[in-house]
């Protein structure tokens, strides 16, 4: 694929995503960005994060750019990140799968809520933000600056109020832009960052910053400390951590959707955060694929050029933006290896970000080598 083709696909995908009609999964989009970065790292498209602007709302310029995150999904990617930033203490914070919001404060009092927009200018949705759960209208400290967070529809609220919505993120994206504020009281704000308006001031450490946010009364995105000082392979340890966070038990028990973990160096570099669209001292680690469990209902047989191959038919599931209920199996031996039988619980992914693939039989406990998520 040429540079021009990649740039067009990325721009089209960004436009569709912010119009709440995504044409590809996050993993597919990230793969395109990786290809373009390799072919033309200076492409202006890589500096464009898309826009969520909507008619009917006043446009407001951000004091500090609201960038995106550099992305990783392998141990090698993560080891490169840790090598560039040095051994030491990091935090690994949930990457909330919602809509970015800047909460502006003056002398400790909430003034405006502005969407990310294009990173430099966003939509003023203050009247809607005032209705949302998690907003702190008056802090304990006389703070002037911006608190960054995500607007989310929690899973229980989606099930209760919007069972027909496709997913929590798309629902939140639409609701937060209701011109009359309808249903905004069903949304929750979780925060993860704060920056002083006076650029000579700075929070020095991520751990202290997160505690300060809690002390002000905010709902803070969950995080754990991640110390690479004595780790021989911190990249693999990061992969092990995200596998744990995305296993079935943790995913089902989590109140809200996440689409990765953001690793942040504990020592805050304000110049990096204030000047880079994709800060170098933090990175979003996302699953290489998203495993989903379902029930095998039938095995059909496909005959082509004299070759018979099985096709697994299962209860429909949402995987990375689309509904799937069939997956071709490479051969009959695969059925025998996994021990697949009708009624078994199975795990399905999109191989190469596109093709549905059965990778495990949960009932038998067997999985394909290389897919131990």
Classify 292-367 by CATH class: mainly beta
Question: Are 213 and 145 within 8 A, CB to CB?
Answer: no
- Asked whether 320 and 28 are in contact (CB, 8 A), the reply is yes
pLDDT number for residue 47: 63
Q: In whole angstroms, how far apart are CA 181 and each of 131, 164, 175? A: 8, 20, 8
Q: Which distant-in-sequence residues (6+ apart) come within 8 Å of 75 by Cβ?
A: 233, 235, 236, 238, 239
Is the pLDDT at 117 greater than 70? The verdict is yes
Q: Where are the alpha helices (DSSP H) in the chain?
A: 3-18, 26-39, 75-85, 126-129, 155-161, 168-175, 206-215, 234-245, 248-253, 270-275, 332-338
Q: Which of 71, 95, 350, 357 is catalytic?
A: 95
Reduced to 3 DSSP states, what percent helix, strand and coil does the chain have, rounded to the nearest 5?
Answer: 30, 30, 40
CA dist 337 and 361 (Å) reads: 10
Range 290-311 average pLDDT: 86
Query: Which of 82, 2, 84, 17 shows the shortest CA–CA distance to 48?
Result: 17
The per-residue pLDDT for range 162-196, each reduced to its tens digit, is 988 878 988 999 999 999 999 999 999 999 999 99
User: In the predicted model, is pLDDT for residue 131 greater than 70?
Assistant: yes
> Residue 317 and residue 341: Cα distance in Å, rounded?
19
Convert the pLDDT of each residue in 241-283 to its tens digit: 988 888 767 888 899 999 899 999 999 988 887 766 678 999 9
Which range, of 37-51, 218-232, 310-324, 332-346, averages the lowest pLDDT? 37-51
Which one-letter DSSP state was computed for residue 277? S
Where are the chain's structural domains? 3-47, 59-72+89-225+256-285, 292-367
11-25, 29-43, 289-303: which has the highest mean pLDDT? 289-303
Specify which residues 188 forms β-bridges with: 133, 152
DSSP 301-314: EEEETTEEEEEEEE
Q: Tokens for 169, please give them.
A: 């993120």
Q: How confident is the model at residue 139 (pLDDT cuts 50, 70, 90)?
A: very high
| CATH class of segment(s) 59-72+89-225+256-285 | alpha beta
Q: DSSP states of 187-226 as a string?
A: -EEEEEEEEESSTT----BHHHHHHHHHHTTPPBPPEEEE
Task: Quote the pLDDT of residue 274.
Answer: 72
- The C-alpha atoms of residue 83 and residue 154 are separated, in whole angstroms, by 36
CA nearest to 239, candidates 89, 92, 57, 47: 92
Paired sense of beta strands 282-285 and 70-72, if any: parallel
Q: For 217, phi and psi rounded to 5 degrees?
A: 105, 5
Catalytic residue check, 166: no
């Amino acid at each position: 694929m040429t540079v021009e083709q990649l740039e067009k696909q990325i721009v089209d995908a960004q436009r569709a995503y912010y119009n709440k009609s995504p044409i590809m999964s996050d993993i597919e989009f990230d793969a395109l960005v990786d290809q373009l970065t390799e072919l033309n790292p200076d492409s202006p498209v890589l500096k464009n994060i898309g826009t969520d602007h909507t008619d009917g709302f006043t446009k407001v310029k951000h004091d500090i750019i609201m960038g995106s995150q550099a992305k990783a999904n392998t141990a090698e990617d993560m080891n490169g990140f840790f090598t560039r930033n040095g051994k030491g203490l990091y935090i690994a914070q949930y990457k909330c799968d919602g809509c970015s919001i800047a909460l502006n404060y003056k002398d400790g009092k909430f003034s405006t809520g502005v969407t990310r927009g294009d990173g430099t200018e966003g939509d003023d949705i203050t009247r809607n933000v005032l209705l949302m759960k998690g907003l702190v209208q008056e802090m304990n400290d006389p703070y002037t600056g911006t608190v960054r967070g995500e607007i989310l529809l929690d899973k229980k609220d989606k099930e209760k109020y919007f069972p027909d919505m496709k997913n929590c993120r798309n629902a939140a994206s639409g609701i937060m832009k209701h011109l009359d504020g309808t249903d905004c009281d069903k949304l929750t704000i979780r925060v993860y960052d704060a920056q002083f308006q006076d650029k000579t001031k700075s929070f020095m450490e991520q751990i202290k910053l997160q505690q300060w946010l809690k002390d002000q009364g905010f709902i803070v995105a969950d995080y754990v400390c991640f110390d690479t000082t004595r780790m021989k392979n911190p990249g693999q340890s990061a992969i092990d951590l995200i596998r744990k966070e995305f296993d079935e038990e943790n995913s089902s028990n989590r109140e809200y959707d996440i689409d990765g973990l953001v690793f942040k160096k504990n020592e805050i570099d304000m110049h990096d955060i204030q000047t880079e669209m994709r800060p170098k001292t933090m990175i979003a680690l996302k699953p290489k694929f998203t495993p989903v469990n379902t029930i095998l209902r039938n095995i059909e047989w496909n005959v082509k050029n004299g070759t018979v191959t099985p096709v697994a038919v299962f209860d429909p599931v949402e995987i990375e933006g689309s509904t799937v209920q069939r997956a071709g199996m490479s051969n009959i031996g695969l059925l025998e290896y996994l021990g697949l039988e009708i009624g078994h619980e199975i795990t399905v992914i999109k191989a190469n970000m596109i093709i549905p693939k059965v990778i495990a039989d949960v009932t038998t406990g067997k999985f394909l080598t290389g897919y131990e998520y």
